[in-house]
Homo-oligomer: A and B are copies of this chain.
């Protein structure tokens, strides 16, 4: 990122549950998480919350740079430190700084791939398959470290929290999984 842009960053602090922006708000800044966690969410008619993005470091709602108004709400999931970059200078920097632009494009492409994986996961219709898919695609070497409660993980997996708890313990009983605090490790199918 060019220094001239970095110099324009305004530090922000948000407490747990605090709203960063709402659907319909004009997009005036691009937010970058320094520390903590922010989430992009939408609520459906029943009041169920769908988590669309979870960011613990780096930008959030990157695609909003392209639209006049936000399409989702953003909230802080923990006490969070952010940087706020005004859109105008941000767009100029993308125009004029090739390295910055290139990394921004990679960021968007990564987000697309991540969302495709998420769609693939939500298309699986058993809880066990979604869990395995998540460990495979988001974990490292078969080990997934959770940075959230299981309840909110359940929401991310499109499951009720009860279903997640039950499936996790069933999979562990079947030897398909080892749960150790926030470390979830998948076990390969045992040879007979």
Contact = CB atoms under 8 A, between A and B. Distances in A.
A63 interface: yes
Contact of A123 (B63, B125, B158): B158
A52 B118 contact: no
Interface in A64-123: 65-67, 71-72, 94-95, 98, 101, 105-106, 108-113, 115-116, 118-120, 122-123
Count of identical protomers in the assembly: 2
Interface residues of A, number: 37
Given A118-B119, A119-B50, A95 B98 contact: yes
Contacts of A129: 44
Interface in A116-141: 116, 118-120, 122-125, 129
B122 A52 contact: no
Nearest to A53: B116
Interface of A: 40, 42, 44, 48, 50, 52-53, 62-63, 65-67, 71-72, 94-95, 98, 101, 105-106, 108-113, 115-116, 118-120, 122-125, 129, 158
